[in-house]
Structure 1
Amino acid sequence: MINITFPDKTQRQFEPPVDGYTVAASISEGFARNCVAMEANGRLMDIYSQLQEDAGIRFITPKDPEALDILRHTAAHIMAQAVLRLYPDAQPTIGPVVEDGFYYDFDMEPISEEDFPKIEAEMKQIVKEKLPVRRQEVTRDQAIEHYRHEPYKRELICELEDGTISFYVQGEFTDLCRGPHLPHTGFVKAFKLLRVSGAYWRGDSDRPQLQRIYGTAFFDKKDLKQYLTFLEEARKRDHRKIGAALDLFSFHEEAPGMPFFHANGMELWNALLDYWRREHRAAGYVETKTPIILHRSLWEQSGHWENYRENMYTLVVDETESAIKPMNCPGGMLLFKQKRHSYRDLPIRSAEIGLVHRHELSGVLSGLFRVRAFHQDDAHIFMTPEMIEPEILGILQLVRRMYATFGLGFHLELSTRPEKSIGTDAQWEQATGGLTAALDAYGADYKINEGDGAFYGPKIDIHIKDAIGRTWQCGTIQLDMSLPERFDLAYVGRDNEKHRPVMIHRVVFGSIERFLGILIEHFAGKFPLWLAPVQAVVLPINDTLAPFAKEICQRLFAAGLRAYVDHRTESLNKKVREAQLAKIPLILTVGDKEKSAGTLAVRTLDGAVHHGAPVDGFISAVCDNVARRRLDMEELLSGL
C-alpha cells in the first residue's frame, strides 16, 4: 500500500499503481470529474498519471491558477488536430502556451482570418467528441520512427537526450509534448482564434517561414467575452493607428524598425524628456552623453562582443572593427575612469538619454514597442556598499513620483541569484540583502523570482499597469558585480586605499520610444494638457476675427503653450470636428461677443462648452495646470 497525503495533511492508502482520478474519486465522483490535473510531490501531472509510491497530492481544478495554462495547452492541440483534419498536408511544428493564449506553427499553404470559422467549427466538433487525452511514453528511436515523415518533429526529437519521450494522443492526433493536459477535449468550451502571422522555424530567417495561428481559451464563456471586449478596446488604442492619426511618427522601408518622429511627435517627446530632466536634476543626477560608435576592444572588455554580438551592428572605422552601441553602460565606465574619485564624491548618479541600436528580426518588429533604434533613460550609480539600501530606496521613490504623474500603477519583482553567476557568496548576500532592505523600507508588496537575476547581480523589475489593466515591464534596477571588475573601477576610501565601487544600472521609462507607445495607448491619444502635442487651437468664426484669434494665439505662445490658429475657410463645425479628431484638449472659439468682452468660448474633448472665460484668467489657469502636470482639467474648468 502507498500513502497519499492531501493538503490538509490527512492521508489515505491505496494499492499501487493508482491514478490521480481514482484518488480524487475516493473523495467524490463529482469532485473527480471537475479536476483538470494534479500536483504530486511538487510536480504538475495529468489526472490519470499513475502513482507508484507515497506522495503528497494537490488536485488542480478550474479555479486554480495553473489550470488556465493546462486548458490552453490542450486547446493548442485541439486547434492542431482541427487544422490537420482540414489541411491534411500541413506539417505541425510547435504549439506553446503564451501570455493570454496559445499559438501553433504549421508549414502549410497560407491562410487568413477568413479561414478561422471553419477551423473553429472543427475544433467545436473535437470538443463535442470529448476525446480522452492520454500520455504515452516511448524511446527516442521509437519517437523518430513515428515522425519519420514529419521533419520538424524529427528535428526536435534528434536534439533530445536519450531516454523516455512523451507523446499525447487524442483520437487520431498524436503530438510530441511534455504535458500535462486536460483529461479530455470536452473541457475546452470557450475559445477563439485571434490572428495569423508568418514566423520562421526556430526564429531563423534562413529557415522556412511557417503559418502561426494564435488563439485563446477560458473555462468560462463570460471570461472569454470579457477578454474579447478587452482586445477590442486595445485595438482602439493601438498606438500605431493613433500615431498616424495624430501625425506623431512613421516608419519607412529605407530604415526598417527605426521610427521617424514628426513635429507633433517631437512636441510629445520633448514634453516627456523635459519632465524627466526636471525630476532627475531634483534627485541629484547629472546628465551625460556618450558616442554611439565604439571600438571592438571596449565591447570585448564589457563582455558584449562575446555574449551579445549577434544583436549588434558592426562596422569598420579607420581600419578598426567597431560596433554601434546596443547599450550605454560601457561608455559610462569610461566616463567614470576619466578622473580619480574619492569616497567623498560618492554616490555619483550619472544619467544618459542614450541612442542605442539592436538588430531585431523583422518578424518581431512592432510599432514603437519593438524597434531597432531607440533611446534608453539609463543611469549608472557608483557608490559604496553601505549606500545600496538608501540609493535603491531613492530610485523607488523617484519611480513612484514619475509613474504617478501619468496615472500608472505598478508592482515590483525581486529576482535573485541564478545558477550561473559571477561573484562571491558574500557579494551576492550583501547585494540581495541591500535590495531586500530597500524594498522592505519602501513598504510595498513585491514578488520574489528565485534564480531569475542577471548573471552579474540581483535586480528589481518594475511592472506598470495601464488604463485597461495591461502590465508592461519598463523600469529595472540592477546591481552589477561584473563591469566594475572588468573595467577595474576604483575609488579612494577613508583609509586612503583603492576600493571597488558598487554599481547600479537603472531605467525608469526603459525605451523612450516604447514608453511613448505605452502612453499613447494608456491615454488613447487623449493626453493630459501638459503632455499634449498641441494644447489649444483657436477658431475664429469668420475672417474678420482672424487678427483677434492670432492675438490670442500669440499670448498663449508667449506663455509657453503649444497652440495655433485654424484660419482655413472651412465651416466652424468642420474645424471643431477635426480638432476633436486630433484630440486637442482645448478648442477656443472667438466671435464678436468674445472679442468685445475679452473672453473665450472653451470647448473640451467631452463636448462641453464653457462660455465667457476671461483671457488672462484662462491663460493663467492653463499655465498652472501644465506646470503642475495635472492629469485632468477639472480644477481649470471649474474656475471658468
Structure 2
Amino acid sequence: MEPIGVLKDGQIYDLQTAEALNIEGDIIKQDNSAESLEILRHSCAHMMAQAIKELYPDAKFFVGPVVTEGFYYDFKVDAKITDDDLVTIEKKMKEIANRKLKIERYEATREEIVTKFADDELKQAVLSKITDNTLTMYKQGDFEDLCRGPHLPTTGMIRAFKLTRVAGAYLGGDEENEMITRIYGIAFFDKKELNDYVRMLEEAKKRDHRKLGTELELFTFNEDVGAGLPLWLPNGSRLRSKLEHLLYKAHRVRGYEPVRGPEILKSDMWDISGHNANYGQNMYYTEIDGQQYGMKPMNCVGHIQIFKNDLVSYKDLPKKLFEYGVVHRHEMSGAMHGLFRVREFTQDDAHIFCTPAQVKEVIIDVLEFVDSLMKTFDFEYEMEVSTKPKKAIGDDEFWETTTKGIMEALDEENLPYGIDEGGGAFYGPKIDIKITDAIGRKWQCGTIQVDMNLPSRFNVEYINDEGHKEQPVMIHRAILGSFERFIGILTEHCAGEFPFVIAPTQVIFVPIADTHVEYAKQLQKELLEDEMDSKIFDMNESLNKRIRMAEKQRVPMIVVVGDEEVQNQTIALRNRRTREQSNMSKDEFISMLNEIKKGSRI
C-alpha cells in the first residue's frame, strides 16, 4: 500500500505538507484507519467541489470538512440542486478521478489570497475566521481552494465514493445568515466497503424512525406548534410510558430517589453554574416581574438545590437523585432531525452525590446499570473517556485528577475504552456510552460525568465522620440520554418491532364474527389490569384481511377468537416474533405474557 501521509503528535500531515515542512512521523497508508480515511474523504470533498464547479461555473465554496458520516461541502450556486442531480455530479467526479490530476500544495500571503478571492463573499467569510498571514492553497487541474489539507497525492487514488444527500445549511452555522447548499458524501479505499455502506444506507431508509413513526402512529411534528417540538400520539405515548415505568423500577431497586425540579430558574442560578457564560447560546430566556429566568437545558442545578434542602450526613452517601427532566435547548433549524435533534426533550437524568473515595464504586455501579439496560434492548456498546474541552471551568489539577479517577475505575474492572480528546462537558470529564444498532451504526447515548466544580460553586456540603462540613463529588448520569433520541434509535434498531415489554400494542385480538367481540373485550380488560395494551380488530373486513392488517402493525402477538375459544375460554395465538401458532387457555396465555414481562426487568 502506498504511503499517503504522516502522523506526528496526533496530527495528520499529507505528503505534500510533510515534504514542504520537513516533517517526519508514522507513515499513513491506504487502509481503513481513521487517519487514512480522513485524507481520502477530504480529497474526495475537493474532487466533488471541482465537479460542481465544472458543471456550475458560477458556484462559490465555503468549507468542506470531514465528518463522522463522511464529508460535505457547503457552496452557493444559482441553480437549484436536488438529490436527482447527485448522479450527474458523481459522473463528473469519476471523470476527474480518471484524469489522475496531481494534487499540489502551495503557500501564499494573506493579502494575495484576499485579492484572489475579492469577488467571492463565501471565501471572504472563511478568511474572516483565519488570522494567519501565510495561508495554504491546494490545486488540482483548473480547480484550487483555500485549505489546510490533508490531501492525497492525486485524484486517481479516489475510486470508491458516493454522494448521499443534498441539504440546506446556514452560512457558518448561523441562523442569521443566508441558507446555502450542502452535499454529503462518503468514500472508501475498498469498493466492497463502499457497497456495504450503501446497503446499510438503503436499510437505514427502510428503518427511518420518521417514516416508521408515521406508519405506526407514534409521534408527529407540526410547524404551527413549532419546529423541533414533537407531539406524542397515543401509540407513542404508551410506548414511552412503558419505557419510563421500566426504568423507574430499575432506578428504585438501585437506591435512587425520584425528584423533580422546575423547568425555569432565575438567571442568577445559571450565572453561578457557568451555563450563561458557557452554554448561553443554547438556552432560552424569559422575564418575569423584571427578573430574567432561563429555561433549563440541564437538570443539575435543580438537583443541587434539592440536595441542599437537608443537612446530609456521610452515612447517607452516596445519595442518588433521579428525574425524567424536561429540558429545552436551542438547536439550529438545519440541525433538527426527527427525534434525534429536537428543542424540547426529556432526559433520564440522575445526579449522585458521594465522597471522593466512593467515586469509583459509583461509576462501576452505573456501568452495571448501563450494561443491564443495553442487554435488555439487544444493543452492543462501547465507552469513551472525554477529556477537557477548550471551553471549561476548573483548574488543570481538577481535570487531571478526575480524568485519572475515571480511567482507573474502568481499568480496575478491565473495561475497554477509547479517548475523546477535548470532548468533556465544560464542568468536568465524562464517560460517553456509544451503542451500535442492528445495521452497524454507532450512536452517542448515555453519559457519566464527574463534577467537583458545581458543588464548589453552589457551596454544596455534607457532614463528614468527624462532624465537619465537606464538599461532595457530584456525578451527572444519563443512560438513555433522552427518551426522544433513544426511542428514535430503538425504532430504527428493531425496525419498529419493539420488545414486548414496551410495545405500544402488545396483542391484537381478531374476533372471527361479531358474536366473538365480547370475549375479546373481556380479554382486553384483563390484560389492561396487568398493564398490557391490546386492540380489537373487529372492522367490517374479511378475517384474512384483518389478520394481514394486524401483521402490518408489527405487534408481538395476534390472537384469533371464534366459537371454540369463547366456549372453552381459550385463545388461538399467532406469535409474530417466533412465527409459531398455538392454542392455550386464557389463563395460560396471560401467565405467559406476564412471564415475558418479568424476564425483561432491568
Give the Å deviation of 1:64.
4.1
Whether 1:551 aligns to 2:522 is yes
SS at 2:306's partner residue? helix
Backbone CA RMSD of aligned residues: 2.0
Contact 2:31 2:189 in 1 (8 A): yes
Candidates 137, 151, 162, aligned match of 1:192: 162
Aligned equivalent of 1:621: 592
Candidates 2, 14, 19, aligned match of 1:50: 19
Aligned equivalent of 1:137: 107
Contact 2:4 2:30 in 1 (8 A): yes
Map 1:209-608; keep pairs closer than 5 Å.
Answer: 209-253=179-223, 254-418=225-389, 421-423=392-394, 427-605=398-576, 608=579
Give the Å deviation of 1:239.
0.7
Q: Higher relative CO (CA 8 A, sep ≥ 6), structure 1 or 2? A: 2
Map 1:55-70; keep pairs closer than 5 Å.
Answer: 55-70=24-39
Give the Å deviation of 1:63.
4.8
- Structure 1 residues 277-297: Cα deviation after superposition (integer angstroms, max 9, x where no partner): 111111110010011121111
Give the Å deviation of 1:157.
2.1
Structure 2: distance between partners of 1:78 and 1:195? 16
SS at 1:225's partner residue? helix
Structure-2 change in CA distance of 1:84 and 1:574 (3 Å) = same
If the length of structure 1 is used for normalisation, what is the TM-score? 0.90
Structure 2: distance between partners of 1:54 and 1:305? 42
Candidates 55, 59, 62, aligned match of 1:90: 59
Give the Å deviation of 1:39.
3.5
SS at 1:539's partner residue? strand
Equivalent AA in structure 1 for residue 187 of structure 2? A
SS at 1:160's partner residue? coil
Equivalent AA in structure 2 for residue 593 of structure 1? E
- Structure 1 residues 430-464: Cα deviation after superposition (integer angstroms, max 9, x where no partner): 42343223212332211133454334322111111
Map 1:32-181; keep pairs closer than 5 Å.
Answer: 34-39=2-7, 43-48=11-16, 49-50=18-19, 55-108=24-77, 109-181=79-151
Structure 2: distance between partners of 1:383 and 1:469? 37
Equivalent AA in structure 2 for residue 357 of structure 1? H
Contact 1:41 1:55 in 2 (8 A): no
Give the Å deviation of 1:307.
2.2
Contact 2:246 2:601 in 1 (8 A): no
Give the Å deviation of 1:40.
5.8
Structure 1: distance between partners of 2:337 and 2:281? 20
Contact 1:242 1:525 in 2 (8 A): yes
Structure 1: distance between partners of 2:434 and 2:554? 28
SS at 2:346's partner residue? strand
Structure 1: distance between partners of 2:197 and 2:448? 32
Q: Which stretch shifts more, 143-152 or 46-55?
A: 46-55
- The total of aligned residue pairs comes to 599
Equivalent AA in structure 2 for residue 553 of structure 1? Q
Structure 1: distance between partners of 2:267 and 2:574? 57
Q: Which stretch shifts more, 267-276 or 334-343?
A: 334-343
Structure 1: distance between partners of 2:23 and 2:261? 62
Structure 2: distance between partners of 1:630 and 1:586? 20
- Structure 1 residues 569-605: Cα deviation after superposition (integer angstroms, max 9, x where no partner): 2111111111111111111011223333432221133
Q: Which stretch shifts more, 554-563 or 460-469?
A: 554-563
Contact 1:530 1:626 in 2 (8 A): yes
Give the Å deviation of 1:255.
2.3
Q: Which stretch shifts more, 190-199 or 427-436?
A: 427-436
SS at 1:457's partner residue? coil
Structure 2 residues without counterparts, runs of 5 or longer: none
Whose Rg is larger? 1
- Structure 1 residues 604-636: Cα deviation after superposition (integer angstroms, max 9, x where no partner): 3358351422221121111111121289xxxxx
Structure 1: distance between partners of 2:23 and 2:298? 52
Report percent identity of matched pairs: 45
Structure-2 change in CA distance of 1:514 and 1:600 (3 Å) = same
SS at 2:526's partner residue? helix
Structure 2: distance between partners of 1:608 and 1:418? 51
SS at 2:480's partner residue? strand
Contact 1:388 1:431 in 2 (8 A): no
Structure-2 change in CA distance of 1:451 and 1:94 (3 Å) = closer
Structure 1: distance between partners of 2:64 and 2:25? 31
If the length of structure 2 is used for normalisation, what is the TM-score? 0.95
